[in-house]
A and B are shown apart, each in its own frame.
Chain A
Amino acid sequence: MAAGHNDNAAYEKQKRAVWVATIIMGVVTIAEVAIALNWPESWGRGVLNLLFILMSAVKAVFIVGEFMHLRYEMRAMMISILAPCLFLIWFLIAFMMEGQSWLALREFWN
């Protein structure tokens, strides 16, 4: 009986966690679009882009952590999945630098 009660409490808790995550993601998405449409041009794109990247990261954390349940898995499993993604940071930086070099070449040949 006690075990059944605990299961039910855990189930209700998980259910609530998922709906909370949904609401947060919805609010973040609306905020993203609202900011995109109302951002004054004089404030520049730099801060805006950083804001977008951070907000997307929040959404990604909720999807991977709550929806995909990775937050509740074993630590070793989390690391084995998340650690390889660190390679992407250098991948991105390297190719952004590459792109800038292509731009310089285009301008040079024009």
Chain B
Amino acid sequence: MAADTHLEKETEQIQDIWNGGTEPMKASYGKLMMWYFILSDAFTFASFLIMYAALRVSSEVWPDPNAVFNSFPFLHGTKLPLGFVTVMTFILILSSVFVVRAVQEGHRMNQKGVLLWMFLGILGGLGFLGCQAWEWNHLIHQGMTFTSNPFGHYTVPEVVDGQTVDVFKGYVNLVHDHETGEFNLPADGKDNKGNVIPENATKHTGTYLFGCLFFFITGFHGFHVTTGVLLNIMIWIQSARGVYQRSGNYEMVEKVGLYWHFVDLVWVFVFLAFYLL
């Protein structure tokens, strides 16, 4: 008899667990699912970046990032390697921090705080997108597209073991002639290190894979930033209308905030892959 009631009680407890409403991870369903969506998205980005790694390893010559990303808006002619992308990285990190602050104010039910920090977060996101638009425009103007790449190198014929072979001598940023569509050696006849390019040198444009992968992966990241900004704006409007104040929690800010931090996380690896390595 006693054993039966014990069994009944246990069955009841198990049924309670499976009836829903429990939070075994101590996180709401929505937040947990946002995390698993982010996990799946992380795999998508990882696949792209690993594809980048495989194609880069398979290429004999790859452009030097310090020579590719060396321009800064309004500072024409000055070479600031990685200067602009550092600014972009800071903007995105700060934007992420602002959204963390918005989430923290949300926990305190401080509507004004959420609105202020979320607004700054949105500004940061828009700032990043603006920077990216400038960088893309600048690179396309230099002649970098899906099919062409001005960041090339030059070779010089040398006799090795009785055979004449073209030997790699250095990197050179070729100049795109917009009328003929050709890529020429720089007018000053110097390579990226300032060495004079010999007369008998052969110019080579860079691998088109560089442009393909750059525009595809930073584009996919930029698409995520755009989506994140739109979500942040939606959350800001909902907060301003007092929807979360009435429902008693600002968890939506937290969920969208998770997505926004993920965008920042991906940028760390895009930055690593394209600008540092």
Contact = CB atoms under 8 A, between A and B. Distances in A.
A5 to B, nearest CB: 14
14 contacts: A11-B108, A37-B82, A52-B277, A68-B258, A68-B262, A73-B25, A77-B25, A84-B43, A85-B42, A91-B50, A95-B54, A98-B54, A99-B54, A107-B60
Interface of A is mostly: helix
A74 B26 contact: yes
Interface string B215-229: 000000000000000
Nearest to B259: A68
Nearest to A95: B54
B265 A60 contact: yes
Interface string A36-68: 110000000000010011001001100110111
Interface residues of B, number: 50
Interface in B42-81: 42-43, 46-47, 50-51, 53-60, 65-66, 81
B58 A103 contact: yes
Interface string B244-277: 0000000000000010011011001101100111
Contacts of B90: 26, 29
Given A67-B261, A74-B27, 14 more contacts: A15-B101, A18-B101, A26-B93, A29-B86, A29-B93, A30-B86, A36-B275, A52-B272, A76-B25, A81-B39, A91-B47, A95-B51, A95-B53, A99-B54
A92 interface: yes
A39 to B, nearest CB: 10
B276 A52 contact: yes
A96 interface: yes
Contact of B59 (A36, A76, A103): A103
B249 to A, nearest CB: 15
B167 to A, nearest CB: 14
B157 to A, nearest CB: 16
A33 interface: yes
A110 to B, nearest CB: 9
Given A95-B54, A96-B57, A33 B93 contact: no
Contacts of B271: 56
A25 B66 CA distance: 21
Nearest to A105: B58
A2 interface: no
Nearest to A25: B93
A14 B32 contact: no
Interface string B1-41: 00000000000000000000000111100001001100100
A36 B50 contact: no
B185 interface: no
Contacts of A73: 25-27
Residue among A29, A33, A100, A102 with max Cβ neighbours from chain B (10 Å): A33
A84 B55 contact: no
Contacts of A74: 25-27
A96 B101 CA distance: 40
A88 B25 CA distance: 24
A49 B27 CA distance: 38
B116 interface: no
A29 to B, nearest CB: 5
B159 to A, nearest CB: 19
A106 to B, nearest CB: 7
Nearest to B56: A99
B268 A102 contact: no
